Amino acid sequence: MNDVDALCHCGSGLKHKRCHGSILDPAKAVGNLPPNATSFRTGLAGFPGQLQQMHVMNQFPADDPRSSVPLQGAPGLYEVVFVLKRPGFPLMGERQMSFSNGLEGDSHLGIRPPAFTPPGGQDVDRILLQSVGDDGRFEFIGTANQRGFLGKITSRPIQARDRFHAEEIAFRALAPSLSEFSLQLDIPLEIAQIETKDLFTDSCQVTITLPFFDVPLIVAPQSRTEPDFRGVASLYREALNSNSPIYQFLCLYKIIEALRARRKKLQRAAKATNLGQVAATPEIVPSTHQEIRVWLEALFYVRPEWSLVALDSAVPPEVRGKSFDDVIADTLNPLRINIAHALFEDTRHELTISYDELLDTRKVAKLVPFAKCIVRRMMKSDFRAEFLAHVPD
């Protein structure tokens, strides 16, 4: 079922069919799945390392009331399943998708035999988590894998506006409990994927982190690189090795700050030696999808393809056509300040961001690909002999 007249969920104001409803190449679309399917393989269209949602919609006859439900769902009851994994140990192969009923999940938290036998609870096979917060009262059922470790946490039915809202409020209700367990027991509790199901239509969305592309070793040989370049390269790798959007953003923003400071240093040195000002390269964020595609091809030259989702992830609509300086000052820096206040500043300051708030985390995660693009564009301008020297502008 697809409501072709519904507005796109991305907030563009366009109808879904003219926005993200047209991003899939029919040759690469998943197509119809058998009713009992638990997994499938698909092409993923977004930006590597970032969150992406796969929507699976059930089809109904025209006279069935479920056929009129919008693409994103309607007000009603939803079930949200959080599948856990041990950090560094994926549950499935890359680019292989699975529904929650096809996954056991895993963690370091034992809740039943053989991993752990609660006193007087030899027959325990699940746990009940209760949460009371601004959104109301919620209950979650935690189930173990065959080895007795917590693998999945499933919400009791949640009243929500649509699937996006259900995922948001379920995460907000569950995350504080996961954080407390991590703190008390000194273990990570990483969410591998989130599946949100509309209990009226059984349509669902699966939220996962996109894998990186496999690439060939096409790098210009280097005999020597300067310390500034080595420092930036090491921090960039640190960002990519992390699964935390907050940490990724901080690493990338630190690179931006370092590159801007280096430019000022070079300008002062040029002025002191009477060489005049160092010519500044105009740095403007591209506006159209075609301009964005060309811009990105000079920065990520081994990526196999650019979908509309990837283009929108790399350059969000709100920053297009603006100068780097304006975007850094008006968009990136305020977010960096909020993170700094929450994590590093004097604790007398009010916390303005919480990692357990899904919308806050996603606000940061949404800008990580764009911050990465800013870093790579600045590096291509500033380290012409070291970075992408073989790729023309």
Q: Which of 246, 277, 253, 245 is nearest to 329 (CA)?
A: 253
CA 208 – CA 47 distance, rounded (Å): 12
- Residues 99/39, Cβ–Cβ less than 8 Å: yes
Answer whether the bond into residue 34 is a cis peptide, omega within 30°.
no
Q: Which of 212, 182, 207 is nearest to 355 (CA)?
A: 182
Per-domain residue ranges for the chain? 16-209, 227-382
Q: How high is the mean pLDDT of the chain?
A: 83
pLDDT in tens, 151-169: 999 999 999 999 999 999 9
pLDDT of residue 21: 44
CA 154 – CA 78 distance, rounded (Å): 11
Residue 360 has pLDDT above 60, yes or no: yes
Which range is least confidently modeled, 49-58, 233-242, 335-344?
A: 335-344
pLDDT in tens, 253-297: 999 999 999 999 988 888 888 766 555 667 999 999 999 999 999
E strands along 134-281, which residues?
Answer: 136-144, 150-155, 158-160, 190-198, 204-209
pLDDT of residue 275: 63
pLDDT in tens, 87-101: 988 888 777 788 899
pLDDT of residue 271: 83
pLDDT of residue 10: 44
pLDDT of residue 159: 97
pLDDT of residue 203: 92
What is the percent of the chain where pLDDT is above 90?
49
Which range is least confidently modeled, 25-29, 321-325, 387-391?
A: 25-29
Residues 6+ apart with CB under 8 A from 233: 225
Provide the CA 253 distance to its chain's centre, in angstroms: 17
The model's pTM is 0.78
Provide the CA 108 distance to its chain's centre, in angstroms: 24
